[in-house]
Amino acid sequence: MTQQTPTHDVHIIGGGLAGSEAAWQLAKRGFQVRLSEMRGAPADKGGEMTAAHQTDGLAEMVCSNSFRSDDHERNAVGLLHHEMRRLDSLIMRAGEKARVPAGSAMAVDRDVFSQEVERELQAHPNITIVRERIDTLPDSGPTIVATGPLTAASLADSIVKATGQDRLAFFDAIAPIVHRDSIDMDICWFQSRWDKPSAGGGSGNDYINCAMDKQQYAAFHQGLLDAEKTEFKEWEENTPYFEACMPIEVMASRGIDTLRYGPMKPVGLDNPHDRTPEFPQGRWAHAVVQLRQDNKLGTLWNMVGFQTKMKYGAQVELFRTIPGLQNAEFARLGGMHRNTFLNSPLVLDRQMRLKDAPHIRFAGQITGCEGYVESASVGLLTGMMTAAQIAGEDWTPPPATSAMGALLSHITGDAEADTYQPMNVNFGLFPPMHDVKKKQRKEAYTDRGKTEFGKWLNALEAVPA
């Protein structure tokens, strides 16, 4: 870490959506902010363009131009939009000015959007934008690191040294995640292989199992080989994935039975739906897909070993052929791409501070959230947390029943650290409402979220309700 001369109250590293939002939230509360962005910096300041960015504009949207659904009555990301607007989000404000037609979704002209964010930040007297590359974490002083999924190598090395957790891997191997209440348990069953409890003290029924016979498996295997795949981006082409993170379709290409000796092995799993006098406990299937609980609430389950480069539509079509998943609703689909993110449940506290260096907070995609608005919302919360700490005020997080609170809870402790992966906001992160009929749950989640978020705002006296 390096020592910075304190000419500001807070140093923010990274001028993407999260860093820009954090700067805005701090500045409007009267704090002096130094916002460092390496894009656009002169050579002697370490100027560097990432492989994904096209400009040096702040808050550049490098992929889609969509903030996704703006429906705050039935949609988790729409609820997140609603909450951010109530907190005077710069990202949402700029998004409205740059908005283009997109039906019920919110999409923007990405150039107008970036220009509007930068204009607002440049105009604020409490914000100093400095074009410079920061190579190491500061030794002291309130700092927010919001450098995103393509963090510069030198700073990434510094983060690894500070966290002791090498989570800045070459590839983010993502397995699909399924909403628990969309799994057909009349077909599936709970069981751990050989009924062995997990190391964490499980019951021996820690997995949901989906059985396939020989014909079903053969069709599924062929489907993996035939499915349309996503090509690596240019900057990913020379980045090898690890053998332990092999895409399932690559494993399938190695032979018809490779998966049956890998993630789909059936041994030790007695299908109770296939009992006979000879096998009163149930017989072993030809192949089995296992799902493992992904969050503490038990609402989300990931498909073990199913990281993939298949296109999203192909994934949904093929994975719904798995017995028991015919009506599966996916909180996240699988993927493999270069990404930089922390194992946040292990290394960050509940206020996004690095446990071993609490003057440093992290924000945005590097914390393990996916999506533009999710990234910006974490930047917003981190700005608010930092402002409260500097002012000597107590900080109360938004309720876990709100979109912002649910996402924060996932990042800082509710997710399982061993399987932690980047996540979009979705209702699977919210405390479940089992007493509400499934068809009414989306409205129930948003109604409850709005009510309790409003109470939190009133108590916080941040924005009049």
Render pLDDT for 322-360 as a digit per residue (tens, 0 to 9).
Answer: 999 999 999 888 876 666 788 899 899 999 999 989 999
- Percent of the chain whose predicted confidence (pLDDT) is above 90: 58
CA terminus-to-terminus distance, the chain: 42
Q: What is the pLDDT of residue 311?
A: 92
Beta bridge partners of 128: 34
Q: What is the pLDDT of residue 245?
A: 61
- CA 405 to centroid of chain Cα atoms: 14
Task: With CA atoms as reference, report the closest residue to 401 among 338, 332, 448.
Answer: 448
Task: With CA atoms as reference, report the closest residue to 136 among 147, 125, 126.
Answer: 147
Q: What is the pLDDT of residue 430?
A: 96
Query: What's the structural domain count of the chain?
Result: 2
pLDDT surpasses 50 at 69? yes
DSSP codes, 332-344: E--EEE------H
**Do 81 and 202 fall into the same domain?**
no
Q: Is 305 annotated as a binding residue?
A: no
> At 161, which CATH number?
3.50.50.60
In a domain, 2, yes or no: no
- Dihedral angle sign, alpha carbons of residues 389, 5, 19, 334: negative
**Do 178 and 318 fall into the same domain?**
yes
**Rg of the chain on CA atoms, in Å:** 23
Q: What is the pLDDT of residue 200?
A: 44
**Do 234 and 376 fall into the same domain?**
no
**Do 332 and 444 fall into the same domain?**
no
**Do 90 and 160 fall into the same domain?**
yes
> At 313, which CATH number?
2.40.30.260
What pTM, to 2 d.p., does this model score?
0.73
Q: What is the pLDDT of residue 338?
A: 64
Q: What is the pLDDT of residue 33?
A: 98
**Do 27 and 112 fall into the same domain?**
yes
Q: Is 204 annotated as a binding residue?
A: no
Q: State the Cα angle at 155 between 235 and 89, rounded to 5°.
A: 85
- Residues with Cβ within 8 Å of 161's Cβ and at least 6 positions away in sequence, in order, are none
pLDDT surpasses 60 at 426? yes
C-alpha–C-alpha distance, residues 159 and 147, integer Å: 11
pLDDT surpasses 60 at 66? yes
**Do 223 and 323 fall into the same domain?**
yes
Given 337, 352, 377, the domain boundary residue is 337
Neighbours of 401 (CB within 10 A): 19
pLDDT surpasses 60 at 5? no
Q: Is 17 annotated as a binding residue?
A: yes
Given 337, 372, 390, the domain boundary residue is 337
Q: With cut-offs at 50, 70 and 90, classify the pLDDT of residue 50.
A: low
Average pLDDT in the chain: 87
The phi, psi pair for 208, rounded to 5°, reads -95, 130
Report residue 422 as tokens.
């980047």
On whether the CB atoms of residues 23 and 155 are closer than 8 A, the answer is no
Strand, coil or helix: 306: coil
Q: With cut-offs at 50, 70 and 90, classify the pLDDT of residue 53.
A: low
Q: What is the pLDDT of residue 171?
A: 54
Between these two residues, 393 and 47, which has the higher pLDDT value?
A: 393
Range of the structural domain that residue 266 is part of: 173-337
Neighbours of 81 (CB within 10 A): 24
Q: What is the pLDDT of residue 94?
A: 96
C-alpha–C-alpha distance, residues 429 and 410, integer Å: 7
Q: What is the pLDDT of residue 173?
A: 61
Q: Is 19 annotated as a binding residue?
A: yes
pLDDT surpasses 90 at 371? no
**Do 82 and 114 fall into the same domain?**
yes
pLDDT surpasses 60 at 239? no
**Do 425 and 440 fall into the same domain?**
yes
Residue pointed to by tokens 């919360």: 381
Report residue 38 as tokens.
């390496």
- CA 367 to centroid of chain Cα atoms: 8
C-alpha–C-alpha distance, residues 72 and 109, integer Å: 22
Q: What is the pLDDT of residue 52?
A: 54
Q: What is the pLDDT of residue 154?
A: 85
Q: What is the pLDDT of residue 21?
A: 98
pLDDT surpasses 60 at 219? yes
Neighbours of 52 (CB within 10 A): 15
**Do 114 and 252 fall into the same domain?**
no
Q: Is 392 annotated as a binding residue?
A: no
pLDDT surpasses 70 at 182? yes
Given 337, 369, 389, the domain boundary residue is 337
